[in-house]
Every structure is written in structure tokens, then in C-alpha cells.
Amino acid sequence: MVEVRSSNVVLAFAIAVGLLLAYFLRGPLILIYVSIIFAVVFTPIVDKIAHARIGKWSPGKGLSILILIVTVLLALSLFLALASPPIVNDAQGLSSDLPNRVRGLQERVSRLPLGDKIAPKLNVGSLESYLGAFIENIFKFFKGVAGGVTALITLIILTAYFILDGRRAFNWAMSLVPQRSRGRLRETMIRAERRVQRWLGGQLLLMLILATASCVTFGLLGIRYFYALAVFGGLANFVPILGPIATVVLASLVAAIDSWWKVLGVLVFYAVYQQLENSFLTPRIMKSTVDLPAVTVVIALLVGGELAGLLGAIVAVPTAALIATVANEYLVQPDVKSDAEADSLAQISTR
């Protein structure tokens, strides 16, 4: 009896030390975990590139990863090169014409109820102070982004490594599991992998819906470069929270070139769309792709963002799919399969 209690104390101590180390190393551990999720999600794309043939030649996995990264970077660079110059030129024109626009805004506001009290506060000096504070915050944001470049590069390298050598790492991890449980766990993780990979399709659909809705709305409002803003909004929607905020700011600045009413139209559109996406589109699309209840998707996004910030919000839904698959296998259906059945299922899944 004493022996058992001693072993329990040692086990509890080891778990406590492990949790403490995990807390202090949470930054690198989150980065490793997110890179594993990204590797699982993007492996099918890399495999399709690797199996593409030009005559008798086909790229290997390493070259396929490089092709994918270069393609994404070239597409982003081309988009910025085409869309940025005209927007910057018009923004400079807006800056030079700002006093006249402010006077016009004051006249319109003064005609509204209680406008005579609000209009005097709308002057160039106050707007310049707000603009200065806004620009200062923008610089702070980009300083933070610059500091995160190293983490981004590390994330890309780790993701590429897990795509290249993920199967070997997976087999090594499985070798640490007792033989009698190995087959069942392997088959469960393969099913979880397929479920997680379907998340990317749902995310791309959400990005396409936002890009289409933005294009139609901005086009009807008569906002300049509405097509470029729509593409930017769709791409930025991949990043929760920061993506929509960046899109609203950029679209509002472009709309302000023409009129303040267009700015109001942009703000109303995004306020309505974000409510629609968060409460209706995201839960239902993710339910159909990763087979998760709507409430689970919402809770996953909230918890992921709270625990791990931006990266946690990005991988919240695929993580929930992974946890749901494991929980369904070992908690909802706790009956242990025979070794032969588990091994046969694993062999079928890997074919």
C-alpha cells in the first residue's frame, strides 16, 4: 500500500512539474502546436503540387513547399503593387483637402438637432490630434508586427519541417504508446487529421463570402478601388479580429476621399456583416465542414483567442475538431476495440 501511495505522489509531482514547465514554455509550445496544425491543413495542397507532372518530371515535397510559399508571396506582392499606389495618391489628396472637407462637415452637422453644440468640436485642430494619435497607434502596431517577423519565420520553418517529416514524427510518437492501445489511437488520430483538414475549406468559403459581399456593397456605394478592397477584406478575414479591423480602417480611409456618408456606409456594412458572420455563417459553415455544433465553434473561438491570442483564434476550430474526435472515441464510445480490429482499421485508413 505504501508503495502505491509513493508512486502516486511521484506521479502527481511529475505532472505538476510538467504543467509548470509547460506554463513557462507556453510561447514556444504554442508555436510548435500551431505549426503542427498548419502542417496537417496544408499537407494535402503540398501533396497535390508534388504529384503534378511536367512530362516525366514532378517536384518533390521540399520543392512543392517552396513553390507554395513563393506563389503566395508573389500573389500578395502583385496585389500590393497594383492596389497601393492609387490609394496612397488619393490619400495624399485627401490630406491636402482636409480643411475644406471639415468645414463642409461642420455645416452639415450644424443643421442636425443639437448640431450647433457638436459642430464647433469638429475642426481641423481636433481632427489632426485624433489623426496623430491614430498614426502613433498604427506605428506601435507595425512595431509589434516587425517584432513578430521572427516568430512568423519560425512558424513557416516548423510547418515546412512537419510537412516534410511529419509522418516519421507521427510514427515515432505512436511507438511511445503501448502496443495494445497503439492501433486504436493511430486510427483515431488519422480520422482527426482528415477532420482538421476540412477546416481550411470552410475558412476559404468564409473568405470568399466576405470578399463577394464587400465587392457588391462597396460597388453600390461607389467607393473607389472597391474590387481591391474586397480582395484585401477576403484575405484578411483569415486572421480573426485583426483582419476585419484592418479592413474597416482601410475601407473607411478610401471612402473618406469621397464623402463621410460613404464612411458611414462602410461602418454599417461591417457592423452588420460581422454580426451575421459570427452568429450565423461561421457556426453553420464550420459545422458542415468539421462537424461541430454551432455553439462549440463560438466557444472554441472565444477560448482560443483568450488562451493564445491571435494564433489561438486561428487554430481554435481545428483544435476543437481534434478534441471532439478524441473525446468521441475514448469518452463517448469507451469500449476498447480488439487489437486485431484496431490494427485493421489503421491499415485501411493509411491506404
Q: Name the residue among 225, 200, 211 with its Cα closest to residue 38.
A: 200
Q: Does pLDDT of 72 surpass 60?
A: yes
What percent of the chain clears pLDDT 70, i.e. is strictly above it? 72
Question: What pLDDT is attached to residue 78?
Answer: 80
74 burial type by CB count under 10 A (0-12 exposed, 13-18 middle, 19+ buried): exposed
Task: State how far the Cα of 257 lies from the Cα of 126, in Å rounded to an integer.
Answer: 19
Residue 32 has pLDDT above 70, yes or no: yes
The C-alpha atoms of residue 49 and residue 52 are separated, in whole angstroms, by 5
Q: Which residue has the higher pLDDT, 108 or 217?
A: 217
DSSP 337: P
- How high is the pLDDT of residue 3? 46
**Mean pLDDT in residue range 263-285:** 86
The average pLDDT across 61-86 equals: 80
**How much is the pLDDT for 193?**
87
Least confident of 80-89, 186-195, 314-323: 80-89
Model's pTM, two decimal places?
0.70
- Strand partners of residue 54: 57
Least confidently predicted of 106-120, 139-153, 241-255, 293-307: 106-120
Q: Does 44 score more than 70 pLDDT?
A: yes
Give the residue with greater pLDDT, 227 vs 82: 227
The three three-digit cell numbers of residue 15, written as one number = 505532472
| Predicted local confidence at residue 212, as pLDDT | 92
Amino acid identity, residue 206? L
Query: CA–CA separation, 42 vs 32, rounded Å?
Result: 15
Q: Is residue 351's pLDDT more than 50? A: no
Integer Cα distance of 178 and 40 in angstroms: 24
pLDDT of res. 194:
87
pLDDT at 110: 59
Residue 348 has pLDDT above 60, yes or no: no
Q: What is the pLDDT of residue 259?
A: 78
Tell which residue, 87, 88, 118, has the closest CA to residue 105: 118
Return the higher-pLDDT residue of 338 and 288.
288
CA distance 175 to 118: 71
If we measure between CA atoms, which residue out of 78, 52, 10, 46 comes closest to residue 163?
46
